[in-house]
């Protein structure tokens, strides 16, 4: 049981390049989330998917797109990377419903540097 996995661990991009961050979970969770964390700051929600086939915007969605490929996988795409998107990106998942299901499990993060 690997939990939440993210690839790549680290990436350097040039301004204007595109890339996709991958996230997968093996806990049969329905909900998945993408956050970004800038230095010295808390996490901010980019997009989330409450269930397979649905996605919704979070606090900071501009410049990103997401795809809930299936129940296990939730990818984040940067179509044209900008230096302001330099950050650490965390994927998370949780079971749906009730207080018991509200624990989120986080991946190890992807460190992205945009030059």
Query: Judged by CB under 8 A, how many residues of this single chain contact another protein?
Result: 31
Burial class (CB in 10 A: 0-12, 13-18, 19+), 111: middle
Pick the closer one to another protein by CB: 14 or 39: 39
Using the CB atoms, write b or e for 31-58: b if 16+ within 10 Å.
bbbbbbeeeeeebebbbbbeeeeebeeb
Distances (CA, A) of 76 to 11, 15, 91, 101: 14, 17, 9, 24
The nearer residue to another protein, 58 or 63, going by C-beta atoms, is 58
Contacting another protein within 41-100 (CB under 8 A): 41-45, 48, 50, 56, 58-59, 90, 92, 94, 96-99
Least distance (Å) between residue 4 CB and another protein: 8
Min separation Cβ 83 and another protein, Å = 22
What the block records as the tokens of 68 is 């809930």
Which residue ranges make up the site for another protein (CB under 8 A)?
A: 4, 31, 33, 35, 40-45, 48, 50, 56, 58-59, 90, 92, 94, 96-99, 101-109
């Amino acid at each position: 049981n690997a939990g939440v996995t993210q690839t790549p661990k680290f990436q350097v991009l040039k301004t204007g390049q595109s890339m996709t961050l991958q996230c997968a979970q093996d806990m049969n969770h329905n909900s998945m989330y993408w956050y970004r964390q800038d230095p010295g700051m808390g996490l901010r929600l980019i997009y989330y998917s409450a269930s397979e086939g649905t996605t919704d915007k979070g606090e900071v969605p501009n410049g990103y797109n997401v795809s809930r490929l299936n129940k296990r996988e939730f990818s984040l795409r940067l179509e044209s990377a900008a230096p302001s998107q330099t950050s650490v990106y965390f994927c998370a998942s949780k079971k749906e419903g009730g207080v018991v299901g509200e624990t989120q499990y986080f991946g190890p993060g992807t460190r992205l540097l945009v030059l």
